Structure 1
Amino acid sequence: MNEPQLIQQILETTKIIAVVGLSDNPAKASHGVSKFMQSRGYRIVPVNPAIESALGEKSYPSLEEAVVALAAEGMKVDLVNIFRLPQHLPPIIDDVIRLNLSAIWIQEGIVNEEAAAKAEAHGVKVVMDRCILKDRMAAGWQ
């Protein structure tokens, strides 16, 4: 978890990011980070049952519905970026494992060692308590 080569690999190979907890409120970190990532070519797929859309993309009430919708378009989720409190991570991790997704990025300030360990035990690549935007900027974005 959080190894520099893992972070680099995820940042270089990811094209589609499902953002669990993405808000349609521009004042929220999930919105700002996702908007910037989108502006740099990543496709952002909102996963939030409380909103209809964000950043010009349809929002899905669950990770499973997002994965199914993308599959219907011949695409797949490369990374699940999580903006949810630590106590909400276990069911998200269960979904990631069940849906056979390969990588999760748990945003800065969010820590649940047990959930992260479970994901890793099932072969999921995990980055936790780090900001994807800050790491991407450190890797060369201006």
Structure 2
Amino acid sequence: MDHDHYDDAYLRDILTATKTIALIGASPNPARASHGVLGYLTREGYETYPINPGIAGRELFGRMVYPRLADVPVAIDMVDVFRNSEAIGGVVDEILALPVLPKVMWLQLGIRNDAQAARLEARGVRVVMNRCPAIERPRLIG
């Protein structure tokens, strides 16, 4: 996969096939990008699962916040990540420990880790890096 350039069809397919999204790094702070993206994805009809151990048990946009991916009670289609590039190894470890692997790991703007992307791709998980679904969805789907 060429992570420098994504075909629009690749992104569109991910965004239309995805139903459930776990958003790692969800924030209750409206000034944070993760807060706005979680709200947008929830309003667009995705079944969202905010992940943040610091606010686990609270609700964001009417959705229960979970401490970690393993605590989400359903299989996840996409893991959307708001963590720095160096933290992605731990996220990939969490993903690979799940009983059902997600179909996609999406790393937000400014986040890239090619070695960890390769680990997931070797297991059949699609990867998008340095993109935002809240930007790509309206551009590609409307």
Partners in 1 of 2:117 and 2:35 — Cα distance? 23
Q: Distance in 2 between matches of 1:123 and 1:3?
A: 18
- Please list the CA deviations of residues 66-85 of structure 1 after superposition, one character each: whole Å capped at 9, or x if unmatched: 1xx22xxxxx2111000111
What is the TM-score of this pair, normalised by structure 1? 0.88
Runs of 4+ in 1 over 6 A off after TM superposition: none
Task: Please state how far the C-alpha of 1:43 moved relative to its aligned partner.
Answer: 1.5
Instruction: Report the equivalent of 1:23.
Output: 27
Equivalence for 2:64: 58
Letter in 1 for 2:48: I
For 1:85 and 1:103, the matched residues in 2 are separated by: 18
Q: Secondary structure at the match of 1:19?
A: strand
User: What's the % identity of the aligned pairs?
Assistant: 37
Corresponding residue for residue 11 of structure 1:
15
For 1:29-48, list aligned pairs within 5 A: 29-48=33-52
Amino acid paired to 1:126: V
| Total equivalences in the alignment | 134
CA distance in 2, matches of 1:140, 1:110: 23
Match of 2:120 in 1: 119
Match in the other structure for 1:92 = 91
Q: Tell me the amino acid that sits aligned with residue 7 of structure 1.
A: L
Q: CA RMSD in A?
A: 1.3
Q: What residue ranges of structure 1 are gaps of 5+ in the alignment?
A: 71-75
**Which SS does the other structure have where 1:50 is aligned?**
helix
How far apart in 1 are the matches of 2:93 and 2:7? 23
Give the equivalent residue in structure 2 for 1:82: 81
8 Å CA contact 2:12–2:141 kept in 1: the answer is no
Partner AA of 1:57 in structure 2: R
